[in-house]
Amino acid sequence: MLIKSQVPHDKGLDNTLDLLQEGYLFIINRVNQYQSDIFETHLLGEKVICISGEEAAKVFYNPELFYRKGVTPKRVQKTLFGGGAIQSMDGKVHIHRKQLLMSLMTPSYQNQLAKLVMEKLQS
């Protein structure tokens, strides 16, 4: 386990604008900059710990180590994800919803979705 002083701290009082400018590259840019799979920053005025890599994924997907409910600011939850989004669920409800969504990720369903999108675009 890392001691807090070993976790790199992102510069600045708040890095929300950097996140908006960099998008999905925000975390990987800092992982590369700090040569660390973990760093601390501030977003929307709140302290945030960002993690990356295989070990981080194991922590993120372990329901005994990580919870989702209530961690997203309400204004972000409502505007970006929606009220009943999977990103805010835990436990059996999260697992059931994820299995439902993943069942739609088969090549057959992907082809069907692509066909529907093309039909709508051409109409």
- Distance, in Å, from the CA atom of 107 to the CA atom of 110, rounded to the nearest integer, reads 5
pTM: 0.60
Q: 3-12, 41-50, 98-107: which has the minimum mean pLDDT?
A: 3-12
How many angstroms separate the CA atoms of 2 and 55, rounded?
13
Averaged pLDDT of the chain: 86
pLDDT 10s digits, 33-70: 999 999 999 998 989 999 999 999 898 888 788 776 76
Q: Among candidates 48, 88, 49, 51, which has minimal Cα distance to 67?
A: 88
For the chain, the structural domain boundaries read 4-122
